[in-house]
Amino acid sequence: MAQELKFQNKNILVTGGAGFIGSHLCEQLLRDGHRVICVDNLSTGDASNINALLQNTNFRFIRLDINQPFDLESHGELAAFKLPFQGIQQIYHLACPTSIKNFDQFKIQTLLSNSLGNHHVLELAKKYRARVLLASSSVVYGERADKTALVQETDMGVVNHLTPRACYDEGKRFSETMFETYRQVHGLDIRIARIFRTYGPRMPLFDGQLIPDFVLNALDGSDLVMNGGLDFSTSLAFVTDVIDGITRIMGAPEYPGPVNLGSDVNLKLVDVAQMIIDMTESSSKIVEGESFAFLSELALPRIDRAKELGWFPLVRLEDGLRRTVEYMKANRLLLTNV
C-alpha cells in the first residue's frame, strides 16, 4: 500500500471563508502556518472581513459559488499551492447563507448549498482524500422544548420540514446525512461540528443578529430593539472559542461523531442588552421589536463530547462583549458606510 504523503504546512480550503466565523477561522489557520484557500460568493459574507489577509502569501481568495461545479486547479492564482502535487489536506465547509432579516431572499441558495453545494465539496474531498468538516448547527435539534434541558449529540431533534425556515433547518440535517453517507460509502474522513449561537467582531450589521446591532445602537444612544421578544433567551459563545472547537474537532485523531460547540449557560437577551448599555455608558432604552422566522429560541448544548477533546468555552461574556464593543468603536464609520 502506498504511504500517505505528510505535509507540515497543509493546503486547507475554507468555504464561506469571508463570513463571520469563516474569516476568523482563516486567520487562525494562517497563524498556525498553513496555506489557506478561501472561497465565498459573498452573498452573506463580506470581503472586508478578509481584507487584512489578502497580503499574506499563504492566503488566496476565490470568489465562486459552491452550488456550481468548480475546479480549483483551473485557477492560476493557486499555482503556488501546487494542488496537482500536494492536493488539499483539509476542508472546512462553512458555506451556507445565514441571514435573519433577509432570510427569504436566500431560500433557494440555502436549499442548494445544503444539497448541491455539499455534493461538490464532498466530491472534492473524495478527489484529494481530504479530511472534511461540516459546520452544522444547533437547529438540527429543533426548537427548545424545555427551558432547562440540554441536548446531547445522541438526541434526535424534531424539525418541521415544511416551515418557512425549513430549507436551513432540515437542510442542515440533510447535510449531516450526506456527510455521513460519504463516510460510509467512500470511507471519507468526515467531521461534524454542531455550532450554537456565536457572537463577536464581524457579525453582520442590520440583519437582526441582535448583538452587533445592540452595540451600534448603544454607541449611537438609540433604542436597543429586542427582536424575538423581551423574554427571548439563548446561549452565546464567543467566536474565538468556537474556532478553537472547530480546529480541535478537525485535528482529533479519531472521529467521535457530531460534536456540540457552544455555551451551556442560558442567557436572557434583555440582560445582555443591559450589559452593553452599561458597558458603553449609553442612555439607550430597551424596546420590543419584530419576530423573524430565522430568530427563535433554540436548545442549549451539553458539551461533554467537546470536553473530551480538551475544549471548553473560555471567554467570559463580559470580556467577549467588551472585545465586540471595542471592534465596533474602532470600525464604526467603516461599518455604517458600507
- Which positions ≥6 away from 134 have C-beta within 8 Å? 93, 118, 175, 176, 179, 190, 191, 192, 193
Are 266 and 113 spatial neighbours (Cβ–Cβ below 8 Å)? no
DSSP 57-72: TTEEEEE--TTS---G
* Per annotation, catalytic residue among 92, 128, 168, 199: 168
Question: At 55, is the secondary structure helix, strand, or coil?
Answer: coil
327 is an active site residue? no
- Which positions ≥6 away from 24 have C-beta within 8 Å? 200, 202, 239, 240, 243
Alpha-carbon gap, residue 141 to 163, rounded angstroms: 15
Q: Kindly give the residue spans of alpha helices, DSSP state H, lying in 187-301.
A: 211-220, 239-251, 269-280
Alpha-carbon gap, residue 170 to 106, rounded angstroms: 15
**Measuring CA to CA, which residue among 58, 57, 12 is closest to residue 39?**
12
**Measuring CA to CA, which residue among 85, 80, 84, 58 is closest to residue 71?**
84
**Phi, psi (deg, nearest 5) at residue 24:** -65, -35
Query: Look-up: residue for cell 499574506?
Result: 56
What amino acid positions are annotated as catalytic residues? 168
